[in-house]
Homo-oligomer: A and B are copies of this chain.
């Protein structure tokens, strides 16, 4: 019974599987077992089989999974078969790094517009991406029909900017600010909090019995 309801925890692992399948395919590998995958992506093999099973019977007993068919299945599932345009809001330290970060390569995502208030950079093109002034944000997002943004503005303006994003129909926000922004529940927020990650790491430290932790 495919696709009925994919658990949240499973969904978050799909990109990890996807990437490794990509790697295997590039390496010319034809088949892969859940055990082999487990070793590479550090997820228990039973969990992997369970995850896959939510999408139906993707494997073959005694054989494993066919790399290429699994890959193309996940490519569709993750909507990697078409290019997604996103905008970058806030071209500071981190924003600038993300402009150069090669999302496109493995991801089929392109940053097609960036916004900032700094007039030294607005109007220019950085790493192939035009930088607009924040004043033009709502207009450009509408015209370019962008539905996903990466938010790298200062925490102090995060909510204010978010409200504008919601107004123009943004559906997904990758939030790099430390603020927990408020949005209507038609909008999805994914938080990436660098400070938190470090603090969590420090916290877990001498608590040994360690190993891996998902971001």
**Which positions in A face B, CB cutoff 8 Å?**
8, 11-12, 14-16, 18-19, 40-42, 77-80, 84, 86, 93-94, 96-98, 100-101, 103, 106-107, 109, 147-148, 150, 171-174, 178, 180, 182-183, 185-205, 208-215
- How many copies altogether? 2
> In the complex, which residues of chain B have a beta carbon less than 8 angstroms from the beta carbon of A188?
201, 204-205, 210-213
Q: Is the CB of A200 within 8 A of B94?
A: no
Q: Is the CB of B204 within 8 A of A185?
A: no
Query: Contacts A187-B210, A205-B188: A198 and B100 contacting too (C-beta < 8 A)?
Result: no
Q: Is the CB of B198 within 8 A of A106?
A: no
> In the complex, which residues of chain B have a beta carbon less than 8 angstroms from the beta carbon of A211?
183, 185, 187-189
Query: Contacts A195-B107, A211-B189, A215-B192: A205 and B171 contacting too (C-beta < 8 A)?
Result: yes
